[in-house]
Structure 1
Amino acid sequence: MGVLDQDDQTLDEAQSLIQIAMSRMEGEFRQLLEDYSESVDPDWLFDPLANPSVVPLMETKTGQVMFTDSFEGEQEVPSKRPPLGPLFIDLLPSEVIPTLMNIAVCMVQSGYEMECCQAYIQVRKPILEESVSRLGMERFSIDDLQKMPREILEAEILRWMKALSVSVRILFPSEKQLCEKIFANRSLSENCFEQIGRGSMAQFLDFAEAVAIGRRSVEKLPRILEMYESLRDLLDNIESIFSGASCSKLRREASSVLCRLGESARGTFIEFATLIRKNTSRNALPGGTVHPLTRYVMNYLRLLLCFTNTLNEILGNRRENNCFMRADEGTNIRVPHDDGEGEHQDESLISTQVVHLIELLEINLDGKADLYRDSNLRNFFLMNNFQYIVQKVKDSEICRQLSDGWMRRHMGKVRQFHKSYLIGAWQKVIACLRDDGTHSGSEGGFSRGSSKSVLKDKFKQFNDTFEEVVKTQQSWIVSDPHLRADLRISIVELVVPAYRAFLTRYRSHLESEKNSDRVLKYSVEDLECILNDLFEEGSISHRRSSFS
């Protein structure tokens, strides 16, 4: 028994010595990690990566986002990019790595792998979390994000996209590589890395999920689409980095969050149609100019079509074969449909939606036009707004989504509104210049009796009618410079030649009359100046201070 007791005592002493040695090794291991581990400077972390594109949005005084005419130029249509390879950085000095490796080998071989891994995780995890935090990622609860003002949330989303890209492409791969260097055993290195990085990755996913399930807002859609693209384009990287069995839940969550972002984008896109449909006005817009809704919708479409491929992907994920609808039957997603003429056979989902949304806008504009009591102003309003729609289509990515036939029809509508306005508003001015009742006698002879009186009345009638029409239209606005120029030319070509002929023919019969300047009130040049000053905001449509 004495020998056995002595052996037990020797074993206990040996184990105690090993524990002391391992404790010292663990202390040295931890100290080396603490001495040489530091969070990564974000200033040079962002350098090797392209920052996410920022879509220009303009704030109004009311705090609403307006998609304005300042969104100019052709934008590259985002599409799914191939996975970008990781960029590795040295998280620890190279001269420290061998010492850490040797300590790890010794502790693992001595059965102290748990203590070694725990020490490693306890040091490296907060370092990684601090690095992520320095990229701009903060921890928010779902409630925090739901209550966050829109402009602050937008800034947080931009930071999220940048931080996610840097973390997935640089921080996480580098952290995993460091684990693999320190721990030769693959199972240990994967376990250490997953415990270090899983929380930070979950933080990114929690933020995205909170945005996805939050209150839907049309103004948030571009940012949600950007978030979707950011996560989608990095999903393969995430699955590769967090490839261990213990991270299967994290991988599933990443895919699930991507789906929820897509569903949020899809639902918000549908709400955009509802927004157009429900936009009502009690009063007609003064001046018959382009309605704010027209500007909003067309610039919003122009912005969304920077995400053409992504929208097709998102809408296609929930595509139903039999949900084609006319524009007045609801706001469900419409799918390409052969209308019998073959025009829609090759349409993408987003092309069909663009047609649908513009149809909704046109229906809404028809309703707003009915608010005008003056039929000429009604045609003027529709001409202005349809011209704006056509011009926005021609000048942007939207034109690629619409057929040539669509463009021809809508340009034809602009011309028809133009013609209807021109005839309705100015034909009565021209009617004053007809020759009926101005002649008497044979061979066009002119008498000083009743016919001269009729002639004076003709000129006075023209003056009064012309002044009435111009005065009515002084506040009418055409914002499109080309349309404004065309409209002025059309009016000048309609009115001036008729007036010139009438004035040339009869001026000599009235010039000698008393107060003839009240009758022969306008020269041809006067008319041209007045007409060429119409339809411009802030302009004075009559060179005289008043019509008198």
Structure 2
Amino acid sequence: MGIESVLRLDCKNFQKKQWMPIYRWHQVLLFTIRVLDAILTESKQNHISEAAKEPIRLLLGLASKVAKVKKSPEKLFCILNMHRSLFDATPILTRAFDAEFVKIEVGGVVAALKDSARGMLLELKILVQTYRPQHELAQGSVLTITEFLMKYIKLLVNHTGNLDPILCQGQADDLLNIEGVNLTGRLVSGIIADLESVVQESSSYVSEGLKFLFLMNNTDFVLRQVEESDVRLMVGAQWIKKSHNNIKQYMRCYLCSSWKQVVHPLETATTSSEKRLKNSFLKIFYPTPSPLRSFESALNKVCKSQMHWKVCSPVLRVELRRSVIEYVVQAYRAYRDNLEESVSGDLEDLEPNLKSKLTDLFEG
């Protein structure tokens, strides 16, 4: 998955080549269990010879060693597969061997795998909570950790049936600090909350306008990943509603911080006729740029500064672009409608040009 490189974890001792045989461990166990089951069925015996324990002992020994390695979030799913395979194999192992062997040797490895899984999840939470992005904020796009962590979370949800027994209350309280529909739901909600904190803190490193675009992009990405997967069943309708509201709020804040200064000359120009006459008299002695010229200058400046800003979601990009166009064009129309007919009639219609210029935004 590459989650460890994203979290800047030293993973040189966990190369893919070294781990591929270990990832196949559960397949080997499954094959061995099928052979044992076939022998028991054919021989119509309740137990088989001591020699048959040897391959099982070898597999258990490898699983025990894997459970002791450095707490590596990327290897969590290997641990989960081992745990699930042993759990599924226990009924046949109990039939094939004595209860003492299963209780001590198999039970000991299962307990070690559970401890290892909890340790890996705790390491993941710590790495996420202490994560700080580097050189990722220039365009305001989705953080790499946001993309990878949502993939990771979806895999966790696929292991719900296996994770719930591992996250039994009392042994994993430091992982379950948020309410949820089940133990895995509490874990997932907590990791998402940690990610949201990372995004919020990261947003303080960029300018005001880009800050809200960045928050919009990351919140929208997380929300879409949740709504398009079973994660939505874990976080609940309330979280989904809150995220939709947050995106709307970020959009309003973006419009205000980036475009209010653009339309300001037009808005201030729509004043009473008395004030306009007074200003016209003063302009004889103190000439100032026309509101329209100031507006165009501010518009060009903002468009130029935001030309490389990016909105990743095509749906969100269209919605935000439409909001910006409405915001700017409304101010322009109000200014034009407020002018005297003789003046507004001679005024060039800038609306098509405005829409064309604003349509180029947010492509990155």
Aligned positions of 1:24-43 closer than 5 A: none
- 1:485 CA drift (Å): 1.1
Structure whose CA Rg is larger: 1
- Among candidates 342, 347, 353, match of residue 187 of structure 2: 353
- 1:213 CA drift (Å): 1.1
Q: Give the conservation status (yes or no) of the 8 Å contact 1:235–1:255.
A: no
- Among candidates 269, 287, 294, match of residue 146 of structure 2: 294
Q: Give the conservation status (yes or no) of the 8 Å contact 1:242–1:251.
A: no
Q: Distance in 1 between matches of 2:342 and 2:219?
A: 46
Q: TM-score, structure 1 length as denominator? A: 0.58
CA gap of 1:240–1:395, structure 2 versus 1, over 3 A, is same
Q: Given the alignment of the two structures, is residue 271 of structure 1 paired with residue 123 of structure 2, yes or no?
A: yes
Q: Given the alignment of the two structures, is residue 388 of structure 1 paired with residue 221 of structure 2, yes or no?
A: yes
- 1:207 CA drift (Å): 1.7
Q: Distance in 2 between matches of 1:318 and 1:402?
A: 22
- 1:457 CA drift (Å): 2.2
- 1:283 CA drift (Å): 5.1
Q: Distance in 2 between matches of 1:529 and 1:435?
A: 25
Q: Given the alignment of the two structures, is residue 533 of structure 1 paired with residue 363 of structure 2, yes or no?
A: no
Q: Distance in 1 between matches of 2:243 and 2:96?
A: 52
Q: Distance in 1 between matches of 2:56 and 2:253?
A: 62
- Among candidates 172, 194, 197, match of residue 363 of structure 1: 197
2:57 maps to what in 1?
202
Q: TM-score, structure 2 length as denominator? A: 0.85
CA gap of 1:242–1:420, structure 2 versus 1, over 3 A, is same
**TM-align CA RMSD:** 3.5
CA gap of 1:439–1:335, structure 2 versus 1, over 3 A, is closer
CA gap of 1:153–1:265, structure 2 versus 1, over 3 A, is farther
Aligned positions of 1:500-515 closer than 5 A: 500-503=333-336, 505=339, 509=343
Q: Given the alignment of the two structures, is residue 397 of structure 1 paired with residue 262 of structure 2, yes or no?
A: no
Q: Return 5+ residue gaps in structure 1 as ranges.
A: 1-56, 67-145, 324-331, 337-343, 538-548
- 1:408 CA drift (Å): 2.1
Aligned positions of 1:371-382 closer than 5 A: 371-372=205-206, 374-382=207-215
- Among candidates 253, 262, 265, match of residue 429 of structure 1: 262
Identity %: 26
Q: Give the conservation status (yes or no) of the 8 Å contact 2:37–2:92.
A: no
Amino acid at match of 2:105: E
Amino acid at match of 1:241: A
Deviations 1:367-419 (A, max 9, x none): 211111x2121122112212222222211111111232222222222211111
Greater helix share, 1 or 2?
2
1:54 maps to what in 2?
none
Q: Give the conservation status (yes or no) of the 8 Å contact 2:6–2:144.
A: no
- 1:450 CA drift (Å): 4.4
CA gap of 1:528–1:385, structure 2 versus 1, over 3 A, is same
Q: Distance in 2 between matches of 1:156 and 1:467?
A: 59
Amino acid at match of 2:294: Q
- Among candidates 499, 502, 524, match of residue 332 of structure 2: 499
Q: Distance in 2 between matches of 1:147 and 1:284?
A: 24
Q: Give the conservation status (yes or no) of the 8 Å contact 2:336–2:344.
A: no
Q: Which runs of 4+ in 1 moved over 6 A?
A: 437-444, 446-449
CA gap of 1:437–1:149, structure 2 versus 1, over 3 A, is closer
Q: Report the count of equivalent residues.
A: 358
1:524 maps to what in 2?
351
Q: Return 5+ residue gaps in structure 2 as ranges.
A: none
- 1:506 CA drift (Å): 7.3
Q: Give the conservation status (yes or no) of the 8 Å contact 2:262–2:298.
A: yes
Q: Given the alignment of the two structures, is residue 236 of structure 1 paired with residue 74 of structure 2, yes or no?
A: no
Q: Distance in 1 between matches of 2:97 and 2:52?
A: 9
1:84 maps to what in 2?
none
Q: Distance in 2 between matches of 1:531 and 1:197?
A: 73
- 1:174 CA drift (Å): 3.4
More relative contact order in 1 or in 2 (CA 8 Å, sep 6+)?
2
Q: Distance in 2 between matches of 1:441 and 1:173?
A: 97
Q: Secondary structure of 2:24's partner?
A: helix
